[in-house]
Amino acid sequence: MNDENPFASFQRAAWRGVWGILAALIAYVGLVHLVPQPFRAVVGLVGMLIICLGVLGFVWWLVPRSPLMDQRRPAARRLVMRIASAMAFFLVISAAVTGYYKTMHPTGMATVLAALAPSVPLLFAIRAMMLFLKEETDEFLRSRMLEGWSLATGLALAVCTVWGFLDQFEVVPHLPLWTAFLIWACCLVPAQFLLARRDA
């Protein structure tokens, strides 16, 4: 009889996947630099596509096996899967286009497309949240989610406002505008904590 803690099994599987992805990225960087310059862009694109598919496949395999997913309603499970997939794509695409820009030094429309590429997964993450409100039928859960999002928005606005003025006077490092979404996502954690304390 197997009495192993499901969280421990899940954690081991997650770490094996993370180390595998890191090893693939290191091998990818080494391979790209060994390829002659005329073929480097093609090899780099194909290699990054394979890594993207591998990361997405790993996320789709791992997330449904989390013990926490069994406690969620179908709409919440779909929300987690969509956001996890979007963030996995965001990380890989960001690394890919940054390496492409620094290596190939594109100009014109290629630069525009490279700059826009990382925003696509984040837009899908925002879409996933909107779909949750449409798909979740429990009014209380929808209301609770909206309340958490509203509180996180207020916290994110406060952080961005204060950081913006400190940045203007060169007290803190400059943050690009797209990090506002990541700041908001990070603010979801204290927002949920504050709601839990209020309802306790």
95: containing domain? 1-118
**DSSP state at residue 65:** G
Q: Which of 53, 87, 118 is the last residue of a domain?
A: 118
User: Same domain for 146 and 113?
Assistant: no
Q: What is the pLDDT tens value at each position of the chain, 200 positions in all?
A: 455 566 677 677 777 877 887 787 778 777 777 777 777 767 777 777 777 777 777 777 776 666 555 566 788 888 888 888 888 888 888 877 887 787 778 888 988 998 999 999 999 999 999 999 899 888 888 888 899 899 999 999 999 999 999 999 999 999 999 899 989 988 988 887 888 777 76
Those residues whose C-beta lies under 8 Å from the C-beta of residue 189, and which sit 6 or more positions away, are: none
Instruction: Report how far residue 18's alpha carbon sits from residue 8's, in angstroms, rounded to the nearest whole number.
Output: 15
Helix boundaries (H) for 35-73: 37-62
User: Same domain for 107 and 66?
Assistant: yes
**Amino acid letter, 150:** S
Instruction: Report how far residue 118's alpha carbon sits from residue 198's, in angstroms, rounded to the nearest whole number.
Output: 37
Asked if 125 contacts 92 with a C-beta cutoff of 8 angstroms, the reply is no
Is 164 domain-assigned? yes
Total structural domains in the chain? 2
Question: Is pTM, for the whole model, over 0.85?
Answer: no
Instruction: Report how far residue 89's alpha carbon sits from residue 191's, in angstroms, rounded to the nearest whole number.
Output: 26
